[in-house]
A and B are shown apart, each in its own frame.
Chain A
């Protein structure tokens, strides 16, 4: 996202309107100029290079927009790595020797010391600056190229992301979105701790009190809002946000699919925490005979007009489905268990942290299975087989560990 000083918008009658860049030949030309500069950056000193980009931005007449381009393009630069361990050890040795000389010799002046320092550097065979690792001294190793049109798209998205960071509340309408898309979106909101209220079969979402602190930490909220905005252009959406940008009048930001925002962000499934990803990959490897379903319809929860959102789903060759929901907090688990008590969906496996066992008699009145934290795929398989899902063991499962796999 763009930082605050680079946000370009106008305010009219309580509306905050982002100044998105149109895909015109003029703007494509400016984006092309910026890209040309960056394509020629490998091998150049970073500070000198930044001076050049600044000069171009200042002389362009579109200073904020070009600085926005540069802010985005700098993230696609890789710098030459700093000194390695051997270099650091050599440098430390050189510094030790120099310190000893400064301590021992009666040096009359700074200019005399500079001669000594030169001698030490040349004796040690040190090439180049003593501290090449500071960013100002580093050179550009590579630039990840992109097309001018893609840069304009990226800029527009980053502009809206930057503005959304100042949102106090959001309303989202998602007409025509598929259950799979909805599932991804809800998982995103849950993951980033954005508290939301869903209506209209989950296609109308209210995200409120974003900056009041009751919805997670500021850093996670920022990451959540940026990810949300990267995800939205992938489905039909209407967004209305109440913004309070410092230095501007509070106002409303309205956006929909007609704004022309595009995102090449990968589906949210790629953002799941490492531990979940490891589980998914291991389970996939173990459950080779089942097909992994990346974007399936939510499960009916049992309660009217409500549904559950499984974290992972697999489908057996005979068409039966295996879903897993993973809970890490007692409250949502309790609510889910209450739902299941009235109308339990078939073959649900609960993965639960050990600490939640405390009051298991009250909390888990349904005959399912509990795990400690993220289950090992092996135990997941054991339970799937015990539940009659897998006819035969396709993998050597090893000895079950009763203390951690606990049917209740």
Chain B
């Protein structure tokens, strides 16, 4: 009797020998595997491991499994508080979807606890992937305190692999290429990052049959969220900020603060805006979607007139986002909330540093070193530094429950970014009432940008000041 075929793992793919492929095996695995002419074998992304194994088992076709290197585990999750009803509901939905899927819950509602419950239920070697080093540390602490297990870390210069391991997206990518069969359960935190061109290969090269994606904001500007179903499973559960504010999140309000441009700023704004819009009209360029933007950029780079139009575009945007009166408004807000903890968000580093130097405030950007960043966050939590200025690096993930005031000095038109920024100040603390301010230059394109980013149910309470 011939030896059963070997299902092997090779560089993030499944490989089956071509021998014996004709007949039932070919029919059974059609659509999953393709002939790799380079090696003469059949190949599929490691993502297809669960489906392949199930089909072969169901058809009672014996095979040697050279992919699976994960084990069944008994993880005992010790949690201080019982799970909340929506966490139990989300867990049940995920289990019902064959332990695959994406759960959408706002920041501060216990996605980590849900993941720990799922880890216990999955009972397989587990890899948690996170987008930043801050989150890596948070998850390592969380898992260490939740399970009586050593926790491995991939990222930030460390490379220890255990049954429970946390990794950054960046470190998981090369790891999966060779160790894609090592984990049976893949948890992707902030999983809206996963569909990016590079990161999606983490999920594709992983053979994990069980998968869980966690995010507060699944939508992506490039429409990549459509890939999440393929990479992690279907959307199994979703609750919004507005549904959980009160019992599980802090009560909150959002305020739009309209500020005027100075006479000089307004004059320059009108001039530069007319210049770039004129160029766009002459070249029949529109601004309806991401592709239009790429076309605008490409056209601008082809001539001196275009480059000048692009500079005009940048200048008018900068005038709107960094208007001088925003500094006055920011000062008023900081003074009004001077006994609270506040996060100040900007769209770019230059504005963040300008604010930090004007008000003598600490700033965290991607230029801030790891130790300084930890020290500043520590001081913020203690209250010795009650205000932190940041551009985008604190938009998501970082746990600062003490923050109750958010001030968006400038931002993009992204709903996701705006919701994530709101989420920073909503973590439930007894007696906390959170407020998010948005400073907007009146009569500029920023007003429309603001309207776009507030196109979310969480912003129905907005009132202009």
Using CB atoms and an 8 Å cutoff, list the residues of chain A in contact with chain B: 5, 58, 82, 88, 92, 94-96, 98-99, 102-103, 107, 109-110, 113-114, 117, 120-121, 129-131, 133-136, 193, 195-197, 206, 208-209, 213-220, 247, 328-331, 355
Contact = CB atoms under 8 A, between A and B. Distances in A.
Contacts of B353: 131, 134
Interface in B355-397: 356-363, 365, 367, 369, 372, 375-376, 379, 384-387
State the 5 A-B residue pairs at the shortest beta-carbon distance, nearest first: A98-B360, A110-B331, A130-B357, A117-B360, A103-B338
B48 interface: no
B445 interface: no
B36 interface: yes
A95 B10 contact: no
Nearest to A134: B367
A206 B178 CA distance: 23
Nearest to A129: B357
A208 B38 CA distance: 8
B198 interface: yes
Contacts of A206: 38
Contact of B362 (A95, A208, A209, A218): A95
A193 B369 CA distance: 32
A247 B69 CA distance: 43
Given A121-B360, A134-B353, A213-B45, 5 more contacts: A58-B304, A88-B372, A131-B357, A196-B38, A218-B198
Contact of B367 (A98, A120, A133, A216): A133
B367 A92 contact: no
B355 to A, nearest CB: 11
10 contacts: A5-B301, A88-B369, A99-B385, A99-B387, A113-B359, A120-B360, A135-B367, A193-B177, A217-B198, A247-B298
A310 to B, nearest CB: 21
B280 interface: no
A214 B328 contact: no
B359 A329 contact: no
B360 A195 contact: no
B376 A92 contact: yes
A213 B349 CA distance: 35
Interface string B190-210: 000000011001001000000
Give chain B's interface secondary structure class: mixed
Nearest to B334: A102
A279 B328 CA distance: 62
Given A216-B177, A328-B178, A99 B358 contact: no
A117 B13 CA distance: 59
B349 A96 contact: no
A219 to B, nearest CB: 6
A99 B365 CA distance: 19
Given A113-B331, A136-B350, A355-B69, A92 B11 contact: no
A197 B40 CA distance: 11
Contacts of A92: 362, 375-376, 379, 385
A208 B353 CA distance: 47
A92 B36 CA distance: 58
Nearest to B173: A217
Contact of B13 (A88, A131, A214): A214
Contacts of B267: none
B429 to A, nearest CB: 19
A99 B10 contact: no
B360 A214 contact: no
A225 to B, nearest CB: 15
Nearest to B335: A107
Contacts of B266: none
A197 B379 CA distance: 58
Contacts of B174: 217, 219-220
B427 interface: no
Contacts of B387: 99, 102
A99 B38 contact: no
Nearest to B174: A217
Contacts of B201: 213, 217-218
Nearest to A100: B384
Contacts of A214: 11, 13, 36, 43
B66 interface: yes
Contacts of A217: 12, 173-174, 177, 198, 201
B327 interface: yes
Contacts of A102: 334-335, 338, 359-360, 387
B339 interface: yes
Interface string B310-323: 00000000000000
